[in-house]
Amino acid sequence: MRHDHLGLIPADRRARTRAGVVVATLVAAATPVVAGSAAAFHDAVPPRTASLAAAVFAPSSAGVVVASLVTGGVALSWTVSVAGAATVTYRVQRSDDLGGTVAVCAGASAAVVTSGTAGCVDSTAQPGRTYRYVQQPVLVRNGVDTWSQPPSAPSSPISVPAVVIGPRFVFASVSAAVTSTKSGPVSLSYPAGTAPGDLLVLVSFGGRSSLPTLPIGWSEAASVSTRGSDASHLFVVWRAADSSGSVSFDAQSNSAGTVTRLLRYARATGVTDPPSLAGPTASGVASTGATATSAGVATTAASATVVEFAAIREATAIRLVSSSLGVRVAESVAPGRVALAVGVADGFAPSVGQTTGASWQQDGSAAEWLWASVAFR
pLDDT at 52: 33
With a cut of 50, which residues of the chain have pLDDT below it? Answer: 1-53
Which pLDDT does position 124 carry in this prediction? 93
* Res 2: pLDDT: 39
What pLDDT, on a 0 to 100 scale, did the predictor assign at position 55?
67
What dotted CATH number matches 66-159? 2.60.40.10
How many other β-carbons are positioned within 10 Å of the β-carbon of residue 301? Answer: 16
Nearest CA-CA partner of 38 in 69, 60, 19 = 60
Taking CA atoms, 170 is separated from 166, 280, 320, 356, in Å, by: 9, 20, 19, 19
What's residue 140's pLDDT? 83
Quick: pLDDT tens for 226-263: 887 678 999 999 999 999 999 999 999 999 999 999 99
Instruction: Count CB neighbours of 223 within 10 A.
Output: 16
The Cβ of residue 358 has, within 10 Å, a number of other Cβ atoms equal to 28
137: how many CB neighbours lie within 10 A of its CB? Answer: 25
Query: What's the confidence (pLDDT) of residue 142?
Result: 80
What is the enclosing helix (H) or strand (E) of 195? none
- Is omega for the bond preceding 10 within 30 degrees of 0, making it cis? no
46 phi and psi angles, rounded to 5 deg: -65, 135
CA distance 31 to 249: 74
Q: What is the predicted pLDDT for the residue at 88?
A: 92
Q: Please state, in angstroms and rounded to a whole number, the distance separating the CA atoms of residues 219 and 169.
A: 17
Q: Locate the domains of the chain by residue range.
A: 4-53, 66-159, 169-376
pLDDT reported for residue 104: 97
- What b/e readout covers 239-249, taking b as 16+ CB neighbours within 10 angstroms? bbbeeeeebeb
Q: What is the pLDDT of residue 295?
A: 93
pLDDT by residue (tens digit) across 128-177?
899 999 999 998 888 788 889 999 999 999 998 877 778 999 999 999 99
Task: For residue 280, report the phi and psi dihedrals to the nearest 5 degrees.
Answer: -70, 140
- What is the structure's pLDDT at 47? 33
